Structure 1
Amino acid sequence: MRCLWGRTTVLMCVCLTFLWPCCIGCAQDSGRHWRKEQVVASQSFVEGGSTIQVDFAAGDLDLSHSDIVTWVQASAHSVAVYYGRFPVARARVVIEPIAGDSDSIHGTTWGGMGGFPAVTQIRLAQHATKDDLKDDWVMTHELVHTALPDLPDDQHWMEEGLATYIEPIARAGTGRLTEARVWAEFLHEMHNGEPERGDRGLNETPTWGRTYWGGAMFCLMADVSIRRQTNDKKGLRDALRAVVDSGGGIDKDWPLSRVLQIGDRTTGTTVLTDMYAKWSEKPVDVDLPALWKELGVSAGPNNGVVLDAKAPLAAVRESISASR
């Protein structure tokens, strides 16, 4: 299960432990009580070679079902473009309205539920607007989770770190975000993943910052390192596409070593395996200011960025956030 509660500058995790094939089970009172809601409408579409079923639970929404399916489809398209296809053959997205709420969007994704390789539950505010959906990152984040095999609890940072890192890049790849917005988020948030006193490495430090942004920092550094070693001919995207092409999706239980070895073999490097050996069991400090300077990313007005096309790694930065 990949679980996610919401993010402005903070990500939190809500653990929902069961989803019925024909209804939604929502854990309450620490799992002692279940609320089941019948699905009242369903639509399907094909994206990236996969069929995605969108089910609507009972409850009122200001948005039309068509508006919501369009949002799911745009998110699925971003993920399919990043991976070269949608990661699993069939997926189910269940929309559960949050009565009286104005703007909340929360998500959780499971593998191998009710006959589907991937099932995503989205709790959507009753009064959410088209603008809320246009700016949303949660749906894309959740669908990115479908592309990685289920990992042990101490490697949850890899699951959430990948989704945190890939989500804005995937949206930029289909024109839903600008390159500047991708790097503004990384510049202003990546520091949350830095190790603090008492850190014992990513496998042993399951804090919010290390799980989401520590994992994302691992992905960024791996992407940059692969591109440095291959003269920008390969990147993390190539490694992750190879995992999907090898059958690695959320419905599979693979050791992380298998994922990393597939990625390294595809890129012709040992970046992922070497980095995991160092980052998993002990803290690794990253000189983020130096990295941003090399990539040509500096702070701009209104929490934005200024991008330097003449920076040493400007081409790498552009490759990371491009659709190719």
Structure 2
Amino acid sequence: MKLLMLVLWFGLIAFAQATEIEIEYKSWISSSDKQYVETWLKHGVKATERSLGVLQQQTLPFIIEPSLFASEPVPWGSVQRGKPDAILLQVKRFTSSRVLIKDWTLYHEIAHLYHPLLDHSDFWLAEGLATYLQNVIMLENDIFNVDEFRTRLISGLSRDVKNTRLNKGSLKAVSEQMWSLKAQQRVYWSGVAFFIEAEIALQDIGNKNTIRTLISLFQQCCKNSAIPGDSNSGRLFIANLDKLSKTTIFSNLYANYKQRQDFPYLSKTHIYSLQPLR
């Protein structure tokens, strides 16, 4: 009986800590579509928290913009920073939850909530992390398999090589003008390359941590104390990752990457050596 009571007690604690979602619809949507959206959002939060730990905010508001003429299930999404942070998503009407669950956008936007708001010059760091984590989350939750994981990374990195030729300058400078330059591919995937290199470096020295576990630790210990958008926010974020991993891997890579004029070379061998799910 005491054992049963203990199990139930721990179960209640886990339930109390789970992030509750709130949904606001910007325009009319059918009851069946609402059910699809709710199922999708609950699945996305659960999958992300399974990979990155319980989000350190009690409620997670979603603002949904239904669209009849969208060309894809989730055309775009964005984080709205506040107290609490919220996520805005445009969703194509009449899209089943099965199809929505396979879209990457939701996992990407929730992943952003695990790091602080960074300065514009460090957008490459924020977008690279969310892009890398979205793929880790989808792999770990069996939304796709390891072959698809590798294919998506290789494809994205190859697009960035082309975009870097069009958007010259340091990664820091290009990040500050990402939207006006239409340099999203370079900014996002240079950041992904950064975290792939960090992941491999951790593996090579036998460090027990992964990017996934470090981000989980960071948002539990340090995210709420970060100053949003501060000019030093990226450097301080990196310093925390070094401290948590007990290495200088992140600060060394950061010093190099923010000044890079080129796109880092990562071969298929690098991608195939990744072991993110530990």
* Bigger proportion of residues as strand: 1
Report if aligned partners of 1:238, 1:267 keep a CA contact under 8 Å in 2: no
The CA distance in 1 between the partners of 2:270 and 2:191, in whole Å, is 21
What's the secondary structure of 2:165's corresponding residue? Answer: coil
The CA distance in 2 between the partners of 1:156 and 1:285, in whole Å, is 16
Q: Which segment is superposed worse, 231-240 or 116-125?
A: 231-240
The CA distance in 2 between the partners of 1:87 and 1:68, in whole Å, is 23
Task: Report how far residue 252 of structure 1 moved.
Answer: 4.9
Counterpart pick for 2:237 among 259, 263, 281: 259
The CA distance in 2 between the partners of 1:285 and 1:95, in whole Å, is 36
Q: Residue 75 of structure 1 corresponds to which residue in structure 2? A: 44
The CA distance in 1 between the partners of 2:70 and 2:185, in whole Å, is 27
The CA distance in 2 between the partners of 1:103 and 1:250, in whole Å, is 37
The CA distance in 1 between the partners of 2:80 and 2:55, in whole Å, is 16
The one-letter code of the counterpart of 2:208 is: K
Indicate whether 1:274 and 2:249 are aligned: no
Segments of 5+ residues of structure 1 without an aligned counterpart are 1-45, 297-312
Report if aligned partners of 1:54, 1:94 keep a CA contact under 8 Å in 2: yes
What's the secondary structure of 2:60's corresponding residue? Answer: strand
Indicate whether 1:211 and 2:211 are aligned: no
What's the secondary structure of 1:190's corresponding residue? Answer: helix
Q: Cα distance 1:285–1:142, how it changes in 2: closer, same or farther (>3 A)?
A: closer
Task: Report how far residue 283 of structure 1 moved.
Answer: 2.7
The CA distance in 2 between the partners of 1:69 and 1:267, in whole Å, is 36
Task: Report how far residue 83 of structure 1 moved.
Answer: 1.5
Summarize the alignment of residues 131-146 of structure 1 with structure 2, pairs less than 5 Å apart. 131-146=98-113
Report if aligned partners of 1:79, 1:143 keep a CA contact under 8 Å in 2: yes
Q: Residue 177 of structure 1 corresponds to which residue in structure 2? A: 144
What's the secondary structure of 1:58's corresponding residue? Answer: coil
The CA distance in 1 between the partners of 2:110 and 2:98, in whole Å, is 20
Indicate whether 1:192 and 2:159 are aligned: yes
Task: Report how far residue 249 of structure 1 moved.
Answer: 5.6
What's the secondary structure of 2:116's corresponding residue? Answer: coil
Task: Report how far residue 169 of structure 1 moved.
Answer: 0.6
TM-score (norm. length: structure 2): 0.81
Report if aligned partners of 2:61, 2:87 keep a CA contact under 8 Å in 1: yes
Q: Residue 81 of structure 2 corresponds to which residue in structure 1? A: 111
Task: Tell me which of the two structures has the higher relative contact order, counting C-alpha pairs closer than 8 angstroms and 6 or more residues apart.
Answer: 2
RMSD: 2.5
The CA distance in 2 between the partners of 1:130 and 1:237, in whole Å, is 26
The CA distance in 1 between the partners of 2:122 and 2:39, in whole Å, is 33
Q: Residue 203 of structure 2 corresponds to which residue in structure 1? A: 227
Report if aligned partners of 2:44, 2:106 keep a CA contact under 8 Å in 1: yes
The CA distance in 2 between the partners of 1:133 and 1:213, in whole Å, is 23
Q: Cα distance 1:107–1:258, how it changes in 2: closer, same or farther (>3 A)?
A: same
Q: Cα distance 1:210–1:61, how it changes in 2: closer, same or farther (>3 A)?
A: farther
Task: Report how far residue 275 of structure 1 moved.
Answer: 0.7
Report the number of matched residues.
Answer: 251
The CA distance in 2 between the partners of 1:82 and 1:47, in whole Å, is 19
Q: Which segment is superposed worse, 185-194 or 153-162?
A: 185-194
Alignment deviations for residues 54-75 of structure 1 (CA, whole Å, 9 cap, x no partner):
2223223484322211111111
Report if aligned partners of 2:28, 2:66 keep a CA contact under 8 Å in 1: yes
Report if aligned partners of 1:96, 1:123 keep a CA contact under 8 Å in 2: yes
Task: Report how far residue 242 of structure 1 moved.
Answer: 2.4
* Bigger proportion of residues as helix: 2
Report if aligned partners of 2:36, 2:96 keep a CA contact under 8 Å in 1: no
Q: Cα distance 1:226–1:268, how it changes in 2: closer, same or farther (>3 A)?
A: same
Report if aligned partners of 2:157, 2:193 keep a CA contact under 8 Å in 1: yes
Segments of 5+ residues of structure 2 without an aligned counterpart are 1-14
Identity %: 17
Q: Which segment is superposed worse, 178-187 or 203-212?
A: 203-212
The one-letter code of the counterpart of 2:210 is: G
Task: Report how far residue 209 of structure 1 moved.
Answer: 1.8
The one-letter code of the counterpart of 1:222 is: A
Q: Cα distance 1:61–1:107, how it changes in 2: closer, same or farther (>3 A)?
A: farther
